[in-house]
Amino acid sequence: MEITKEKVIRILKDEPQFDRNRHGGLYDRGRADSYYRRPRDPHWYPEGTGNGTRVIKLTREEITEYMDGYDYNEKLGDHKEWD
């Protein structure tokens, strides 16, 4: 049985860092970093963005989830317009 990224995410979906709608989750942080044109820096906040501890020690699957958010936003071309 081949283990794909999608299968891993389905298995881990009950873990908050893999909730793509969670403010502060991996996908959210990847999209936000891209939006603000920050460099890739995989991390997440269990208690919401900017609250509590910033988690930077990540598994390969967690890094992939962050990168998916970053790459998705890059494809959209949705970036902050600085006046």
Mean pLDDT of 37-41: 98
Question: What value does the mean pLDDT take over residues 24-37?
Answer: 97
Element (DSSP H or E) covering residue 26: helix 26-35
Residue for token pair 């970053």: 70
The pLDDT of residue 16:
87
For the chain, domain boundaries:
5-76
Average pLDDT over residues 3-16: 70
